[in-house]
Amino acid sequence: MKIEVKKNILASNAVVAAGNRERLERHGVSMINLMASPGAGKTSVITRAIEGVRGELSLGVIEGDIASEIDSLAIEAMDVPAIQINTGGSCHLTAAMVGSALDHLDLGALDMIIIENVGNLVCPAEFDLGETARVMIASVAEGHDKPHKYPLMFREVDAIIINKIDLLPYCDFDLPQFRQIVAGLNPGARLLELSCKDGFGAGDWCDWLLGAAARVSGGA
């Protein structure tokens, strides 16, 4: 007898995710699921967003990690509400975890929530959290062949940030080839080049976020 455990888990998660999405829509809040491998620069990408949209969007952040509160403390230091989720070993966030975090945020005071998912390029792509959009970070230091190795992640996102672009002269990263591979997997994905170190491309990243927020608020 075959037991469809994974199928049942995803189905249950989808029900909770739909509830999260409906809850956010009632408040006109967009939610971005930011995914990447460990060390790709998720927290730095979020801090660049906070700096760039301050005064235009009211942000909240949900930080997902296996352990520690380092990232949420860094966000709170920027006067942005941050809820820490420690998964205790799980390699991804679930809709139920995010729903519990939403209970601790004042949704009426927010325009957008950015979720920093657990560093992983496999499991997070399979779990709907109730997000408005999905973004992944591919850092130059990781190599241009990542889309071949993790095709599901690259297919499932709305935008891809090519982070640490300032390292391009020092890494064996073929940018045209990367773009070509991504176009074959997900031609509709927006590609954004970014350097969190010097701020190159931060304006494009923030403009993308403003557009995502406007699409939600316009329909609320």
Question: Could you tell me where the beta strands, DSSP code E, fall in the chain?
Answer: 30-36, 59-65, 82-86, 112-116, 133-139, 159-163, 190-193
The CATH number given to whatever domain includes residue 56 is 3.40.50.300
Q: Which has more confidence, 213 or 86?
A: 213
Q: Which of 66-70, 82-86, 91-95, 100-104 has the lowest mean pLDDT?
A: 66-70
Q: How many domains, the chain?
A: 1
**For residues 177-194, average pLDDT:** 98
pLDDT for the residue 88: 77
pLDDT tens sequence across 126-140: 999 999 999 999 999
**For residues 134-153, average pLDDT:** 96
Is the per-residue pLDDT at 3 higher than 90? no
> With b meaning 16 or more CB within 10 Å and e meaning fewer, what string describes 111-136?
bbbbbbbbbbbebbbebbbbbbbbbb
Full-model pTM = 0.93
Domain of 212?
A: 5-219
pLDDT band at 2 (very low <50, low <70, confident <90, very high): very low
Say how far apart CA 86 and CA 112 lie, in whole Å.
21
pLDDT for the residue 186: 98
CA geometry: angle at 66 spanning 93 and 102, to 5°? 40
Percentage, residues of the chain above pLDDT 90: 86
pLDDT for the residue 90: 76
